[in-house]
Amino acid sequence: MRLLAKYESRSEADERAAFLKSCGIATHVTDMVSMRPNLAHQGQFRAGLWVVLEDQYRDASGLLEDPDFEVRNSLSVDQMAHMENEGTAEARKTLLKWLVITAVGLAALTALVTTLVPAG
């Protein structure tokens, strides 16, 4: 993923992302707050627009400058849906893995504390 642009409002970034998606460009919008080490460093930008695929960066920046730009690396609707579904499935697997690891760790810690601390 590569940062394409920063926007003052999330809605503006979402609008640009929707436009790019309609042209076959895979994008992602993030809140800029999530990219700051702390809230004391607040700037003028509130949202970031990212291009998911490096090969589409030139197409995306070209489209933002000129809506009639000729896109060379667009994705079909089916390809875009497949990427989104694949990403969602991978995120679920990762979350489930870490939940299981955490549960096993907590169970082991509980067993250890129960064994080491005398009752009563």
Count of structural domains within the chain = 2
Question: Could you list the residue range(s) of the whole structural domain that residue 25 is in?
Answer: 1-75
- 66 lies in the same domain as 90: no
- 13 lies in the same domain as 32: yes
- 65 lies in the same domain as 82: no
CA angle, corner 93, sides to 105 and 4, nearest 5? 115
- 60 lies in the same domain as 103: no
Beta bridge partners of 50: 3, 28
- 4 lies in the same domain as 20: yes
- 33 lies in the same domain as 89: no
CA angle, corner 33, sides to 30 and 37, nearest 5? 125
At 57, which CATH number? Answer: 3.30.70.2350
pLDDT digits (tens, 9 = 90+) for 34-85: 555 555 555 677 899 999 999 999 999 999 999 999 999 999 999 999 988 8
Q: Which pTM was predicted? A: 0.69
- 18 lies in the same domain as 51: yes
**How many helices and strands, by DSSP H and E, does the chain display?**
3, 3
pLDDT digits (tens, 9 = 90+) for 10-34: 999 999 999 999 999 999 999 876 5
- 63 lies in the same domain as 89: no
- 84 lies in the same domain as 67: no
Helix residue spans in 40-119 (DSSP H): 57-65, 77-116
